[in-house]
Structure 1
Amino acid sequence: MPPAASPPLVSLHDLSRAALGQRLAEWGYSAFHRDALWEALYRRHVKSLDELEGLVRPELVTRLREHTCLRSPTVHHETFSSDGHTHKLLLRQHDGQTIETVLMRFKGRATVCVSTQAGCAMGCVFCATGQMGLARHLSPGEIVAQVLHVVGLLRQTGETLRNIVLMGMGEPLHNYDATLEAVDILVDPRGLAIGPRFITLSTVGVVPGIRRLADEDRPVQLAVSLHGATDAERAALVPVGKRWPLNELMDACRYYSEKRGRRIFFEWTLIAGQNDTVDQAHTLGQLLKGMEAHVNVIPLNPTVGFGGTPSTPEAVRAFQQVLTSYGLPSTVRQRRGIDIDAGCGQLKAAVERPRRSLPG
């Protein structure tokens, strides 16, 4: 009989501090050794097991080499906006799959937009990632590693990371367990110690996931992508609306808001002549009236696979004025990286788009 295959190596970045401690305890090591290793991973930002030499006991390093690994992504492609504020990265994973991560610099703060899946199964028609379909879920460590990569870039310039938005490639609530395990690692006070109120999870409206978030009291801000205030209008842009119609989605949002006592951010991508009229703003106002809500108005970031165009500034202002009449605060999201296709999935689509054969 052929020899039994060795169990796969465990990525250290996939483990929470509690899970890491449990594994080390099985090897006879104490919480002291767990915390020393955790500090090396998330305070010293070691990138290989070799870098652990001198930071933890030599025999522990040997055991880690036998059973674990550290998988840092490599930069497959990167672009920089002309104003220097946006840095978009296409990161290659250990299996060759690529994902996008975006670093955005604002005055006095930095934000990273991270992916939770390679591709996406939700199929939003205006989204470059939705147009490419789902390749696979990311592990907790692959989500965390994106943040670590950006933290390393910021350390070179003396900057610090404040905000994390889980709204890159993928639907976070379609990869619920891995996404929230990554959040647990990111907020751990002995590690990166990102404040929970500075982490925003954006969903297209996966109703069971929203209810689960409410029941588990997960430490994130919730953003829900609407884009249409009737079932027909929304389903035309966000196909998942056919599975979870607006009455189910809004019931879940109210359940979340009331149980957690938190405001929900509703995202509305404004597409000229499609969902930016005053009448549609009134319909949205009626839909959200009485809720603890804030509307993020987002002028469309055009993609190759969708023919829509952004709303005019006048249409945006008129839309907001209607929302104000319903007591709904709104913010026009600052557009960043338009010159480098910083929208979700656009860099991957551009870099990996199959080239057409030349005639002849």
Structure 2
Amino acid sequence: MDKIDIKSLTEEQLRNEMISIGEKAFRGTQIFQWIYKGAKSFSEMKNITAELRGKLEDKFVLRDLKIDKKLVSAIDGTRKYLFRLHDGTAIESVMMIYKHGVSVCISTQAGCRMGCNFCASTIGGLERNLTAGEMLDQIMKIQEDAGKRVSNVVLMGSGEPFDNFEEVIRFLHVANEKNGLCIGYRHITLSTCGIVPKIYEIADMGMPINLAISLHAANDEKRKTIMPIANAYSIDEIIKACRYFVERTNRRITFEYSLIKGFNDSPGDAKELAGLLKGMLAHVNLIPVNSIEERDYKKPSKDEIEAFTRILAKSGISATVRREMGSDINGACGQLRKSSISG
């Protein structure tokens, strides 16, 4: 029988597990607290009995990510990590320092099967899903290594969070729990390429997280050429689901829009995008595209980016251009992992 990844359990689940092995429920809370204080083994949990520690060893596994490679930006302190999981799988995460606190961008899958052709994470496809514990461990290991408390989390690393829905939801619960990482839902952002049924499902759960939609084009014809998911769900379906999410949560939605020179960066594209989002509680995050060896995409000029932004502003659409972090360490999503696999 495979052992249970104990970091993937919520506090309530761990309390119930203790009851199932003949222990008092409060032992689950003690163990849960030890895990999020950074215990690396059951033997470090000094206020539980030797007998219980033996039971834990028999039924559960307490894993610890290994830092395979770390790059630190001399410009802004951004840290990029390549982690190795227990089975040798490589994943990556990024830590960014802002005035408002420390943010980390974590992976929810090793690789990705969504196939967006401007993203390095999709090259090579999906290796496997991550467990909730492996997602949490990315944050814990970064806090330990950097000596800083993480205040904000974005699920924007490798993978499509809604393609690993159950483990991501479990991650959200534990990250938010008082005895867990104690990160408020409003400080967690989940980015999806637009799996419509899951947008409705998470809206109905009532978790006031921030939702970000990887849109990248304002019409289906263009979107289909760069994002295979567009063949399954139209932009109209996505926008309808987003409006539902806003109604249920009263949370503003961010639309991520990678600006690709000569493809989706014209004044006409900007006006089409503004019309699409009119009247919605929304914000546009403009992302000048990163260069990828396998793709022939280039970012627009500074003047072209500013012109696009002005058109949105004149239409009443809130928009900002994403600040480039860690430019000297090649901070783009998926590139460090890709180089480690190809190397």
TM-score computed with the length of structure 2 as normaliser: 0.97
Structure 1 residue matching 2:123: 3-state secondary structure: helix
1:20 maps to which of 6, 14, 25: 14
Structure 1 residues 167-187: Cα deviation after superposition (integer angstroms, max 9, x where no partner): 000000111110110110000
1:37 maps to which of 17, 21, 31: 31
2:72 maps to which of 77, 80, 99: 80
Question: What is the identity percentage for the equivalent residue pairs of Structure 1 and Structure 2?
Answer: 37
Structure 2 residue matching 1:323: 3-state secondary structure: helix
- 1:46: which partner in 2? 39
- 1:11: which partner in 2? 5
1:84 Cα deviation from its structure 2 partner: 4.8
- 1:123: which partner in 2? 115
2:131 maps to which of 139, 142, 150: 139
Structure 2 residue matching 1:317: 3-state secondary structure: helix
- 1:357: which partner in 2? none
- Please tell me the root mean square deviation across aligned C-alpha atoms, in Å: 1.3
1:307 maps to which of 277, 288, 296: 296
AA matched with 2:42: L
1:203 Cα deviation from its structure 2 partner: 0.4
- Work out the CA distance in 2 between the residues paired with 1:56 and 1:152: 24
1:331 Cα deviation from its structure 2 partner: 1.4
1:109 Cα deviation from its structure 2 partner: 1.2
- Work out the CA distance in 1 between the residues paired with 2:226 and 2:194: 13
- 2:274: which partner in 1? 285
Give the aligned length: 343
Structure 2 residue matching 1:132: 3-state secondary structure: coil
- Work out the CA distance in 1 between the residues paired with 2:74 and 2:268: 37
- Work out the CA distance in 2 between the residues paired with 1:116 and 1:322: 35
Structure 1 residues 32-77: Cα deviation after superposition (integer angstroms, max 9, x where no partner): 21221111111x211122222x132222111101111111111122
AA matched with 1:60: L
1:309 Cα deviation from its structure 2 partner: 1.2
1:124/1:131 contact within 8 Å kept: no
- 2:210: which partner in 1? 221
AA matched with 2:4: V
* Structure 1 gap ranges (5+): 1-6, 355-360
TM-score computed with the length of structure 1 as normaliser: 0.92
- Work out the CA distance in 1 between the residues paired with 2:13 and 2:26: 14
- 1:55: which partner in 2? 47
